[in-house]
Structure 1
Amino acid sequence: MSDTPNRPAPASPTPPAAPPRKHRGRWIVLVLILLALIALVVVHVLRGKKPARGAAPQVVTVAPATLGSMPVTLDALGTVTPTATVTVLPQLSGYLTEVGYREGQDVVKGQFLAQIDPRQYEISKEQAEAQLAKDRASLAQARADLDRYTQLNEKKSIAEQTYSDQKFLVAQDEAAVKSDLATIKQYELDLIYCHITAPVSGRVGLRLVDPGNYVTASSSTGIAVITTMKPTTVQFTVPQNSLSSVLQRVNAGAKLPITIFNSENTKQLATGTLYAISNQMATATGTVTLRASVPNDDEALFPNEFVNVRLLVDTMQNSVLVPTPAVQSGAPGDYVYLVNANNTVSVHKVTLGPSDGQHTVITAGLTAGQQVVTDGLDRLNDGTKIQPSTGKPGSAHGASAARMGNASHAHANAAASTGSAASATPAASGASAAETADAASQAS
């Protein structure tokens, strides 16, 4: 028996556990099923989506560009300026004994207005006449003595000094007579001044002085104020940038007509003709003053009244005209929506000329006969499909509104903007019609 103790044999290493193949395969199957479901949903969604329908064409109003004439006008604020406004002042002092006019009365030149007490001037005239008689008698005596001294001097019977002195005495008496005559004329003029008459024809204002008052030649109030009512003038200003065209026409001999409207620019009051241009420019405002003559036979214009003036400078012939609502302003500048042959629109840049509110001149960028959109512009873009219409009532309304808006503009450029503003309502109505047509097509 061996003494060696029994030792346990070394344990062999434990082999690694096998992976759970069954669970891994299950997860792969679930992922594949999930991906298949997602693919099916995507395919179903893609197949179930309806094809997009094309946008319905926009219903708009179109109008052709035409050839016509366009008046070139300047609009300005003016003031009725009478040809004469006279304050009748007394030429001498005295008590006012009579007033011969009625307040607001129309008078003619030379008509009696007032009377100053003439008695003191009549007395002075009589004194001057008496002095004249005295001086004439002295002159007659001096002339008689001169005749006698002349005969004696020829015979050398008197001294030469006596003869010379007598000639000087005759000259002095003749001067005294002339002075008396001048004094008498002065008093006669004073008597004329006592009888005050109208220096011009016109309308008398309110009474400034009553009988019994003492008036003086230094009085600034005056007896009456007379203003000429007809003919009259209208004074207005134009900007310096517009002066060259006016001067060109005036220097060519043209008589430029003006039309005058009331302060609200709603009613025509009178017509006239430009006749004067100031010789200096106002540096503070950059304007020059013009004056027009107006007959004013019906006295529709009142002195110092504020009015609106429209000056016809020229008339452009054979110009390309489009309705003012067709003209738009934006990032491209001034443009119109031009109707293409395939019933689409394109943004077309143009150069604008004058406007009368209803039509605007296109100086470049458009030719007569081309179609432009005048109503329904708010939903248009470059390339938009349209359905043209030429007989839409809204367009007629827009043109009428533009003409009414033009009545209140102060300048030619303001007239175009006013016409565009007036066409906002029909444009909105055109857009509403387009929306209705689009909704109907989608509902069908």
Structure 2
Amino acid sequence: MKKIFAVVLIAVLVVGGIKLVKTRKAQLANIAPAKVLPVVVDTVTLEKKPVTLTLPAMGIVATDLSATLSTKISSRVKKVNKKEGDSVKKGDLLATLDASDLVAKKQGLSLKRQSLGFEINAGRENIKALESSFASARETHSRTDELLNVKGASMEQFRGEEANLAKIKAQLSAAHNTISVLKKNQEALDQNIKEVESLITYATIIAPISGTVSKRMIMDGDMTGPGKVLFQISAGSGFYINLFLPDSVNSHGIIFHGEKLALVPKNQATATGLIQYIAALSDSTGFVEGQYVNVQVVVYQGETSLLPMDAVLNVGGATFVYVMEDSRAKKIRVTIVARGSEGLVVANDLSGKTIITAKPDILLRVSTGVPILISENQKETVKTDLTQPARQG
């Protein structure tokens, strides 16, 4: 009896469970599926036009014409004629140093040279006298030689005259050698005088360029020495922008105050590997040496379509854009040519196409096929196929 009751209870439970499952399935079948919320995006229609892409950078205004003035002599400053901030022209007198010691040295050397000149003139007169004596002695010796042949003169007289001729000849040679030595001494003095004269010029400090006195390192009565900086003059021309860029930036120009300037590499790099470039400035810019300036480095120029930064999605090392085509979002892989502050350009020809612009997380949802709600004015809903991702180009 108990067994029959257990079997009946189990059968009732099974039948009841089956009915409960069927009822639950029917209820679930009648429930509407959850709605997929659309994503709101912007669109932009691309057109081909002149495009310039730039990157921001900072440069330094410099010039090769500025001058740092020093002297080669140790002296006292007699008078300083210019102060910091004064405008100077090339050739203006900036300061005068005491050169009295050098002037006295030059006068002493000049006196020595003059004395050598007197000795040289005396030597020349001596040579003339010796030459005259030599000529007279040679004539006498010739007559003695003739008399010796006819027994009219003795051999002792003949030989004595020969010895006298040799003596005069030796005196002439010595006189010539003395004059040669005196002339060499005179040349050495001339060189010393030129060196002193050159040093005297360093006692007069002249502006080598036109510009502004940016530093004055001396005062009246100060002592100076070789290599000591006296003045610094900032040039008023020859300015250029000094720029340091990584080798990944390939540029041939910059935009500065709305003007495009040519960028010239100096074929040298810094310790950090940055390549140095310069861009010439006009003299009327109003900038000063050492001033930092903001510039835009031109990285691309051409006739193409400009894409906003929010138009591309990077996935797995590849770059994609989403083009509205037949009321659907079509994913197209693109190759980026250049990026800049203004946007980017790609190798693909996208002119005339309408592309979606949104943040990366929104573009990822677009790629899954969710409905797209286009903003702008039309507020049009474009439905995509919910059963598959957006089509790939």
Q: What TM-score, normalized by structure 1, do the two folds share?
A: 0.65
8 Å contact from structure 2 (residues 321, 331) kept in 1: yes
Give the aligned residue type for 2:182: D
1:313 is displaced (CA, Å) by 5.7
- Following the alignment from structure 1 to structure 2, what is the Cα–Cα distance between the partners of residues 37 and 271? 83
8 Å contact from structure 2 (residues 41, 375) kept in 1: yes
8 Å contact from structure 2 (residues 78, 97) kept in 1: yes
1:350 corresponds to which residue? Answer: 334
2:214 corresponds to which residue? Answer: 205
8 Å contact from structure 1 (residues 99, 210) kept in 2: yes
Percent pairwise identity: 18
1:97 corresponds to which residue? Answer: 78
1:140 corresponds to which residue? Answer: 121
SS of 2:337's equivalent in the other structure is strand
User: Out of 168, 179, 191, which is 1:170 matched to?
Assistant: 179
1:206 is displaced (CA, Å) by 2.8
1:386 corresponds to which residue? Answer: 372
Q: 1:313 to 1:375 in 2, by over 3 A?
A: closer
1:66 corresponds to which residue? Answer: 47
8 Å contact from structure 2 (residues 84, 213) kept in 1: yes
Q: 1:270 to 1:227 in 2, by over 3 A?
A: farther
Is the aligned partner of 1:257 residue 2:244?
Answer: no
1:187 corresponds to which residue? Answer: 196
1:235 corresponds to which residue? Answer: 242
Matches within 5 A, 1:36-435: 38=20, 42=24, 45=27, 49=30, 51-52=32-33, 55=36, 58-71=39-52, 76-156=57-137, 159-217=168-226, 220-242=227-249, 256-260=252-256, 268=257, 272-278=261-267, 285-303=272-290, 305-312=291-298, 315-317=301-303, 319-331=304-316, 333-341=318-326, 343-364=327-348, 367-375=350-358, 378=362, 380-391=366-377
Give the aligned residue type for 1:141: A
Q: 1:76 to 1:33 in 2, by over 3 A?
A: closer
1:161 is displaced (CA, Å) by 0.9
Q: 1:212 to 1:384 in 2, by over 3 A?
A: same
SS of 1:321's equivalent in the other structure is coil
Give the aligned residue type for 2:246: P
- Following the alignment from structure 1 to structure 2, what is the Cα–Cα distance between the partners of residues 178 and 33? 137
1:361 is displaced (CA, Å) by 0.9
- Following the alignment from structure 1 to structure 2, what is the Cα–Cα distance between the partners of residues 132 and 333? 88
- Following the alignment from structure 2 to structure 1, what is the Cα–Cα distance between the partners of residues 17 and 102? 132
- Following the alignment from structure 2 to structure 1, what is the Cα–Cα distance between the partners of residues 195 and 333? 80
Q: 1:50 to 1:161 in 2, by over 3 A?
A: same
1:229 is displaced (CA, Å) by 4.6
1:226 is displaced (CA, Å) by 2.6
Q: What TM-score, normalized by structure 2, do the two folds share?
A: 0.72
Give the aligned residue type for 2:214: G
1:30 is displaced (CA, Å) by 8.4
1:116 is displaced (CA, Å) by 0.9
- Following the alignment from structure 2 to structure 1, what is the Cα–Cα distance between the partners of residues 331 and 233? 62
- Following the alignment from structure 1 to structure 2, what is the Cα–Cα distance between the partners of residues 332 and 385? 26
8 Å contact from structure 2 (residues 263, 278) kept in 1: yes
8 Å contact from structure 1 (residues 270, 300) kept in 2: no
Encode CA deviations 1:19-74: one digit per residue, 9 max, x unaligned: 69xx99x9799879967995896588468x46448656544321123223333656
Q: Which moved more, 1:285-294 or 1:305-314?
A: 305-314
1:83 is displaced (CA, Å) by 0.9
Encode CA deviations 1:116-171: one digit per residue, 9 max, x unaligned: 11222222233333333322222222222222322332333651111222222333
Give the aligned residue type for 2:242: Q
1:416 corresponds to which residue? Answer: none
Encode CA deviations 1:253-303: one digit per residue, 9 max, x unaligned: xxx43334xxxxxxx49764333432x556x64443333332343332432
1:92 is displaced (CA, Å) by 0.9
Give the aligned residue type for 1:349: R
How many residue pairs match? The answer is: 350
8 Å contact from structure 2 (residues 42, 374) kept in 1: yes
Encode CA deviations 1:395-437: one digit per residue, 9 max, x unaligned: xxxxxxxxxxxxxxxxxxxxxxxxxxxxxxxxxxx9xx99xxx
8 Å contact from structure 1 (residues 320, 363) kept in 2: no
- Following the alignment from structure 1 to structure 2, what is the Cα–Cα distance between the partners of residues 270 and 339? 38
> What residue ranges of structure 2 are gaps of 5+ in the alignment?
139-164, 382-393
- Following the alignment from structure 1 to structure 2, what is the Cα–Cα distance between the partners of residues 310 and 32? 80
8 Å contact from structure 1 (residues 323, 360) kept in 2: yes
1:225 is displaced (CA, Å) by 2.1
1:222 is displaced (CA, Å) by 1.6
8 Å contact from structure 1 (residues 97, 116) kept in 2: yes
8 Å contact from structure 2 (residues 310, 359) kept in 1: no
Encode CA deviations 1:191-250: one digit per residue, 9 max, x unaligned: 322111123444322321211112122xx54212233352123333333345xx56xxxx
> What residue ranges of structure 1 are gaps of 5+ in the alignment?
1-18, 247-255, 261-267, 393-429, 435-444
Give the aligned residue type for 2:64: T
